[in-house]
């Protein structure tokens, strides 16, 4: 017997724009599912969607899981796992900007997983497909009875940037990826729902709905971008994002007309927001994009920190000022990482992961311990620099070392390393007269030293 045949109670769900009927379905054994009923002409579409979401679910993506599909009278039904929780779009604004950003990071990382599923062979060239879509949207806008204020700016940007569509890759897409299609469970987990618009296409086009996430929480939208790109956002992403958002915005006005004045007003506000975010498309990094400061903490390094720490140890930028062997591969850095894990759990050393929120962003360690004096060194991943994480980490380390009985903390930096010198000065350290010439990476460096002493009661 199918699960569908054991349903004993249905509760209608009215949220969403889909033409499907959606219900919370309860079966005889008390289990709950999401039931979608679609008209029979959509049968092939729903069957394909079911297979694609099964493929996504096998990747371990936190999502509404496909359970069962079949026919009932003149409809096709889909049963999915029931997610107990809240609509992310409705509740995300109640969280702090830091928590919003962390949820956004998760959303971006999930989207990257979704896009790891390649498009099938033989897909139409993306530029050909999407240019045809642009033409339809432009024609629809020009034929409708309404106009956006400054709508010509949208048109001009679209027409002058269509060339960006050339040679774009294609992957699996959720199809409507924004906070309104996510839930935060009763356990605080972010889960993706509503794959009913899934398709294949340029993975970056998936961000065209980010406008809805921005309206819910700009920090969430910022985190989504950073999480997707692991904090290395390519410059050409912003140009394409602007193109996709402008195209979507242009087509939204004629789309809204049949739904009434309220939807038309919503789209007008959205267009005004888009033009404002991109400064009338004179700037491509939108004004809502920023990384909120996250609380900094220090903790022992764990084996699960491998990727973050090895990325740090092999970073060419980090190696300019943080003295580590010139590793040419992650495999070469592995022994040092394992040694750092060991040292961080020994009482005789002070080796710590620098965390911003829950994410490892750097490394802080003792370079020498002599009696009640300790010398510190540190490095922050270049992707996370500029947020004051090093300064906070050094201040925390000083207080923790003082509480452990140390009375003098020192640190050194190459004299041209102004960033580290500022960190030491802001941590309350003062420069000493000590100087040392160090040969590193093929040249001599003059190293200056700073210290701070524990105030005696």
User: What CATH number corresponds to the domain at position 390?
Assistant: 3.40.630.30
What is the structure's pLDDT at 304? 95
Please identify which residue in the block is written with the tokens 């309206």: 215
Q: Is residue 152 part of a domain?
A: yes
Q: Which of 59, 81, 103 marks a domain boundary?
A: 81
Claim to verify: residue 93 and residue 74 sit in the same structural domain:
no
| Domain containing residue 422 | 296-453
From the DSSP assignment, how many helices (H) and strands (E) are in the chain? 13, 17
Claim to verify: residue 134 and residue 214 sit in the same structural domain:
yes
The mean pLDDT of the chain is 94
- In this predicted structure, which of 68-72, 97-101, 324-328 has the lowest mean pLDDT? 324-328
Res. 17: pLDDT tops 70: no
Q: Is residue 257 part of a domain?
A: yes
Q: Is residue 282 part of a domain?
A: no
What's the whole-number mean pLDDT along residues 429-440?
Answer: 93
Q: Is residue 71 part of a domain?
A: yes
Claim to verify: residue 257 and residue 118 sit in the same structural domain:
yes
Q: Is residue 133 part of a domain?
A: yes
Claim to verify: residue 42 and residue 97 sit in the same structural domain:
no
What is the structure's pLDDT at 442? 87
Claim to verify: residue 129 and residue 259 sit in the same structural domain:
yes
How many structural domains comprise the chain?
3
* Closest among 367, 234, 266, 363 to 308, alpha carbons compared: 363
Higher pLDDT, 323 or 245: 245
Q: Is residue 217 part of a domain?
A: yes
Q: Which of 81, 100, 131 marks a domain boundary?
A: 81
Please report, for residues 302, 363, 380, the alpha-carbon distance to residue 305 in angstroms, rounded to integers and kept in the order given: 5, 11, 14
The pLDDT-based confidence of 73 (bands split at 50, 70, 90) is: confident
Claim to verify: residue 89 and residue 41 sit in the same structural domain:
no
Distance CA 367, CA 382 (A): 21
What's the whole-number mean pLDDT along residues 60-70?
Answer: 95
What is the structure's pLDDT at 386? 83
Q: Is residue 288 part of a domain?
A: no
Q: Which of 47, 81, 115 marks a domain boundary?
A: 81
Residue 45 sits in a domain whose CATH number is 3.30.200.20
Claim to verify: residue 117 and residue 63 sit in the same structural domain:
no
> Do 413 and 421 touch, CB atoms closer than 8 A?
yes
Q: Is residue 148 part of a domain?
A: yes
Claim to verify: residue 315 and residue 248 sit in the same structural domain:
no
Res. 148: pLDDT tops 70: yes
Distance CA 78, CA 69 (A): 5
Distance CA 79, CA 209 (A): 26
What is the structure's pLDDT at 457? 61
Claim to verify: residue 254 and residue 300 sit in the same structural domain:
no
Please report, for residues 20, 101, 141, 268, 325, the alpha-carbon distance to residue 255 in angstroms, rounded to integers and kept in the order given: 19, 31, 9, 12, 59
What is the structure's pLDDT at 1? 77
The residue count of the chain comes to 457
Claim to verify: residue 201 and residue 343 sit in the same structural domain:
no
Q: What is the pLDDT of residues 275-311, one digit of tens each?
A: 999 999 999 999 999 988 788 999 999 999 999 999 9
> Do 377 and 387 touch, CB atoms closer than 8 A?
no
Answering whether pTM is above 0.75, one says: yes
Res. 227: pLDDT tops 90: yes
Claim to verify: residue 260 and residue 186 sit in the same structural domain:
yes
Residue 94 sits in a domain whose CATH number is 3.90.1200.10
Res. 362: pLDDT tops 70: yes
Claim to verify: residue 436 and residue 312 sit in the same structural domain:
yes
State how far Cα 10 lies from the chain centre: 36
């Amino acid at each position: 017997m199918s699960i569908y045949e054991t349903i004993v109670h249905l509760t209608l769900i009215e949220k969403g724009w889909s033409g499907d009927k959606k219900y919370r379905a309860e079966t005889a054994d008390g289990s709950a599912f999401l039931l979608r009923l679609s008209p029979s002409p959509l049968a092939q579409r729903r069957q394909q969607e079911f297979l694609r979401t099964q493929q996504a679910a096998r990747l371990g993506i936190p999502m509404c899981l496909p359970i069962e599909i079949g026919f009932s009278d003149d409809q096709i039904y889909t049963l999915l796992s029931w997610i107990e929780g809240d609509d992310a779009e409705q509740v995300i604004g109640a969280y702090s900007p830091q928590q919003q950003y962390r949820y956004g990071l998760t959303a971006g990382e999930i989207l990257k997983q979704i896009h790891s599923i390649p498009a099938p062979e033989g897909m139409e060239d993306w530029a050909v497909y999407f240019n045809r879509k642009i033409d339809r949207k432009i024609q629809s806008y020009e034929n409708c009875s309404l106009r956006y204020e400054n709508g010509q700016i949208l048109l001009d940007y679209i027409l002058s940037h269509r060339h960006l569509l050339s040679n774009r890759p294609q992957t699996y897409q959720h199809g409507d990826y924004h906070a309104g299609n996510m839930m935060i469970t009763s356990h605080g987990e972010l889960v993706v729902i509503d794959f009913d618009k899934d398709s294949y296409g340029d993975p970056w086009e998936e961000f065209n709905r980010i406008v809805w996430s921005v309206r819910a929480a700009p920090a969430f939208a910022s985190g989504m971008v950073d999480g997707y790109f692991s904090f290395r956002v390519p410059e050409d992403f912003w140009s394409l994002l602007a193109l996709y958002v402008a195209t979507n915005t242009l087509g939204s006005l004629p789309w809204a007309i049949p739904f009434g004045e309220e939807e038309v007003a919503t789209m007008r506000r959205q267009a005004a927001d888009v033009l404002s975010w991109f400064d009338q498309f004179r700037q491509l990094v939108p004004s809502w994009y920023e990384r909120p400061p996250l609380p900094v903490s220090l903790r022992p390094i764990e084996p699960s920190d491998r990727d973050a720490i090895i990325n740090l140890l092999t970073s060419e930028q980090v190696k300019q000022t943080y003295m580590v062997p010139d590793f040419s591969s992650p495999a070469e850095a592995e022994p040092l990482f394992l040694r750092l894990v060991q040292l961080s759990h020994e009482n005789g050393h002070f080796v710590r992961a620098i965390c911003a929120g829950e994410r490892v962003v750097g490394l802080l360690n003792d370079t020498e311990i002599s009696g009640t004096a300790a010398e510190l060194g540190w490095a922050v991943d270049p992707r996370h620099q500029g947020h004051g994480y090093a300064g906070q980490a050094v201040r925390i380390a000083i207080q923790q070392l003082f509480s452990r009985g140390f009375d003098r903390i020192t640190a050194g930096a190459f004299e041209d390393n102004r960033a580290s010198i500022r960190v030491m000065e802001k941590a309350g350290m003062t420069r000493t007269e000590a100087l040392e010439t160090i040969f590193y990476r093929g040249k001599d460096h003059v190293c200056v030293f700073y210290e701070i002493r524990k105030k005696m009661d």
